[in-house]
A = this chain, B = another copy of it.
């Protein structure tokens, strides 16, 4: 681990020697975002392959067209919960993401 990172961690209460096996916050963050984007894509693909409009899909989701648009746009205001719910509703497989 480079010094910069170690300093940033220890200064916030991490103990060197334990830290190694853990992912830093920024890495976690980027993996989380990647995951969300993958879900977005999967959802849009499935919705399109079923020839559904965002508005119709929104009904199945019990949400709104604008939310669906945001889901597919990878809008940061969309939670993993909603993404996963959407994927399940449209019949997607969580493992494939």
Contact = CB atoms under 8 A, between A and B. Distances in A.
Interface of A: 12-14, 18, 21-23, 25, 28, 31-32, 35, 50, 52, 56, 59-60, 62, 79-81, 84-85, 88-91, 94-95
Report how many copies the assembly holds: 2
B84 A35 contact: yes
Contact of A23 (B13, B50, B88): B88
26 contacts: A12-B62, A13-B59, A14-B60, A18-B52, A18-B56, A21-B50, A22-B60, A22-B91, A23-B88, A23-B89, A23-B91, A28-B85, A28-B88, A28-B89, A31-B88, A32-B81, A32-B84, A32-B88, A35-B84, A35-B94, A79-B80, A79-B81, A80-B81, A80-B84, A81-B81, A95-B95
Contacts of A35: 84, 94
Contact of A85 (B18, B22, B32, B52): B32
